Amino acid sequence: MDLGVGELGTPGNSKPHQPSGQISHLALDIGGSLIKLVYFSTSDDVDDETGRSATESLSVYNGNKKYPVLKGRLHFAKFETTKIYDCLEFIQKNQLHLGGCQHLEASPIDKAVIKATGGGAYKYADLFQEKLGICLDKEDEMDCLVAGANFLLKGIHQEAFTYMDGQKEFVQIDHNDLYPYLLVNIGSGVSMLKVDGDGKFERVSGTNVGGGTFWGLGRLLTNCKSFDELLELSHKGNNRVIDMLVGDIYGGMDYSKIGLSSTTIASSFGKAISDSKELADYRPEDIARSLLRMISNNIGQISYLNALRFGLKRIFFGGFFIRGHAYTMDTIAVAVHFWSKGEAKAMFLRHEGFLGASGAFMSYGKCGLDDLMVQLIQQFPFTASPAGDT
């Protein structure tokens, strides 16, 4: 079972956490490659500072309104979509579905409506109904991506960062100066959205050359058995063995008149046409590296062109393709920097793969739980930690 579970609230925790408190607000993003789960649990832990039980009820005031404070954790998990039965079993085993779009204190019989987004919310609706008795309440994928990105960017301390030359630098997000930005979600395919505010956005572009392309082609070309194995391979490879560089065409020289150095890739995989080699003559690690570079570079370039179209300086990249992988982020960042001549900035998100699921989670606010959602949001700035198994 490919289970990646993390949570907000336990720094550095990468092991699956079986929540001990009451679970609620399970939200799903069922994509072409991965199913992402976000859910909340109250905690039975005792707070070190106050000595109170975490589930003990506290109150805060917002204006004249009094809100109960629920202390707890946000959990993140993912499964490969092809292993949907493992996901169903995980939900069943942990009874994650018994606290959906109802108030926490509602009876379990009322709780079988779960927020879900992504194409799989349509494709697998009957399966969820049949196996778990869950009715999937479908939320639009683009709405959820934007809601999730805005929520993470505003609510989580050190969510966004730049990555250049192996250096990660966290970006301070000014809530009053976040918009407009370009959101590039690299899932199986790629969606590009111009975001102008909460719920204000337009999908301006997309490309079918995305994470599914990398994993699909990579699997065929290298015989890797998992995505992580392919990423690991790419780490050890040398793309110059298979990519045709400007120097290969120009006899080792730069083409300086048009600003191309001899080491610039002139043609990804281009050497494979001039060599009298078979696939088996290339090392899988070199193929993996070349493929990762080609796809990351292409996405970086298309993103920049769209940012240019709308005069956007900030580009946030999400989606599980990135996977916190240094070479992927570096290639995307270099592409954006190169093409924009340093004008635009590529930024990455710590909860990169959970934008849609987080947005679906936030959409519980629409069904009468606004006060509760407000309280949940108030927890995040103080309890953030890396999520997922990255």
Question: Judged by CB under 6 A, which stretch of 64-72, 132-140, 207-215, 326-334 contacts ligand ADP?
Answer: 207-215
Q: In the range 125-154, which residues lie near ligand PAZ by CB under 6 A?
A: 141
Amino acid, res. 352: E
In the complex with ligand PAZ, which residue's Cβ is closer, 118 or 155? 118
Contact 347, 160 (CB under 8 A): yes
Q: How many CB atoms lie within 10 A of CB 189?
A: 19
State the minimum distance, in angstroms, from the CB of residue 80 to ligand ADP. 5
If one asks whether residue 321 binds ligand ADP (CB under 6 A), the answer comes out as yes
Question: Judged by CB under 6 A, which stretch of 32-40, 46-54, 121-129, 324-332 contacts ligand ADP?
Answer: 32-40
If one asks whether residue 215 binds ligand ADP (CB under 6 A), the answer comes out as yes
Give the per-residue contact string, 274-313, with ligand ADP (x = CB under 6 A; - = no).
Answer: ----------------------------------------
**How far, in Å, are 62, 108, 118, 256, 363 from residue 370 at the CA level?**
13, 20, 23, 58, 9
State the minimum distance, in angstroms, from the CB of residue 188 to ligand PAZ. 4
Burial 330-350 (b: 16+ CB within 10 A, else e): bbbbbbbbebbeeebbbbbbb
* DSSP class per residue in 327-369: HHHHHHHHHHHHHTTTSSEEEEETTGGGHHHHHHHHGGGGGT-
Residue in 10, 14, 32, 207 binding ligand ADP, rule: CB under 6 A: 32
* Among ligand PAZ, ligand ADP, none, partner that 152 touches (CB below 5 to 8 angstroms by kind): none
If one asks whether residue 204 binds ligand PAZ (CB under 6 A), the answer comes out as no
If one asks whether residue 34 binds ligand ADP (CB under 6 A), the answer comes out as yes
Helix residue ranges, H only, 207-325: 211-222, 227-236, 246-249, 271-274, 284-310
State the minimum distance, in angstroms, from the CB of residue 78 to ligand PAZ. 13
Which residues in this chain contact ligand ADP in the complex, by CB under 6 A? 2, 31-34, 80, 118, 187-188, 211-212, 214-215, 227, 319-321, 323, 353
